[in-house]
Amino acid sequence: MIRSLHATLVVAVATATTACSDDRIKVEVRTTFPDGLLAAVEESFEVAHPDLDVRFSEASLDASLGALRQSEVAPFDVWWGVPPIVLYEAANEGLLQAYEPPWSQQADRPAYWHTVLTTPFVIAFNRTTVPLADAPTDWIDVFHHAWYDDLRALDPGRTREGAYFAGAMIVEALRDDDDLDRGFEWLARLHEQVDAYVGEPNEAVRALQRDEALIAILPRAGVERARAAEAPWIHYRVPESGTPELALGVAIVADTRQSDAARAFVDHLGMSDIATLAKLYTHWEPQAGRVDEAALPADFELAQSWRAYAPAIDTLATELDGWVERWSLEIGRR
């Protein structure tokens, strides 16, 4: 499937390679996406822009943010695949450049970064252990006594994803009645159902496989990757009333000396072949570019739509650290 998707690109590679030389303009993209996706994006981009040479580098979010703060010269040009809270913080510190690519859906605020991929939190289970008819379909179902002490969830104190889930649930409670305590009461009630918190999704997947847990709250992309690779037995429900949604964004660094090349790369992310490749390699849902469904393998994902909670990134960026500390003191240590 991936080879067929690249077929039109391969035809042009020889021409592009001939045109390339050491004097091409280099654009460095900081990202942690898988190598296969990066190779495909590099090929596609350089065919479309034979005068540009995209280079990928990898570092942790904290290391990348620290480099932006400390360097007089931009350490990289584009930051791709970054959680919005981190990008919000970087933008507030003046570390990002405003830019509005043609595919942007965020014209309602200063365009210092743009969402490229999303994935919802779902309720996962082993369908050989939990019948489909009995599986939870919404958050209220998770509190049923059938799942008491049989739930795995990402640790809010150890993982960004777990912290975001907890914060998003608090924000949703605030949206309903502006009651912060009610959000923590919801998390405390969930905590009573939790058998153990995990540091990454595969820990929960293994627990479901070994019947050490019956259900797990996880990002859908992680569940789908496990289902495709090693866990065909895994199934999930998207909560009917709505669910927190993780996102990954892209931004151009403020002090880059290659603004035009960086903008060309960000524009390129809106191409349909890039959207399709991103979904193939990550199982996240692209927000730019139309996915070629015919290029996806059979049974690529469980066809379930979702209603995402409003993200409230500004609130989470300001409050989340304090909320996680309160969760650790009042709930996590019980």
Task: Specify the CATH number for the domain of residue 210.
Answer: 3.40.190.10
pLDDT at 7: 46
User: What contacts 226, CB < 8 A, 6 or more positions away?
Assistant: 201, 202, 205, 234
Query: Which residues, listed in sequence order, are joined to residue 82 by a DSSP beta bridge?
Result: 249
Q: What is the mean pLDDT of each run of 10 residues along the chain (334 residues)?
A: 47 42 88 96 96 96 95 94 96 95 73 95 97 96 96 97 97 88 96 96 96 97 94 96 97 95 97 95 93 91 90 95 97 83
Residues 323 and 177 in one domain: yes
How far CA 12 is from CA of 16, 285, 292, in Å, comes to 6, 28, 21
Residues 151 and 262 in one domain: no
The letter for the amino acid at 172 is E
Residues 192 and 48 in one domain: no
Distance of CA 203 to the CA centre of its chain: 18
pLDDT at 109: 60
Please state the domain count of the chain: 2
Q: What is the pTM for the complete model shown?
A: 0.90
Residues 327 and 192 in one domain: yes
Residues 217 and 252 in one domain: no
pLDDT at 3: 47
Residues 134 and 67 in one domain: no
Residues 313 and 222 in one domain: yes
- Structural domain that includes position 273: 2-117+247-295
Residues 175 and 131 in one domain: yes
Per the structure block, which two tokens stand in for 266?
Answer: 């960000």
Residues 60 and 44 in one domain: yes
Residues 140 and 195 in one domain: yes
What is the rounded CA–CA span in Å between residue 277 and residue 286? 10
User: What contacts 213, CB < 8 A, 6 or more positions away?
Assistant: 150, 151, 152, 195, 196, 204, 207
Residues 172 and 205 in one domain: yes
Residues 8 and 148 in one domain: no
pLDDT at 72: 86
> Do the beta carbons of residue 309 and residue 244 sit within 8 Å?
yes
What is the rounded CA–CA span in Å between residue 78 and residue 252? 5
What is the rounded CA–CA span in Å between residue 237 and residue 244? 13
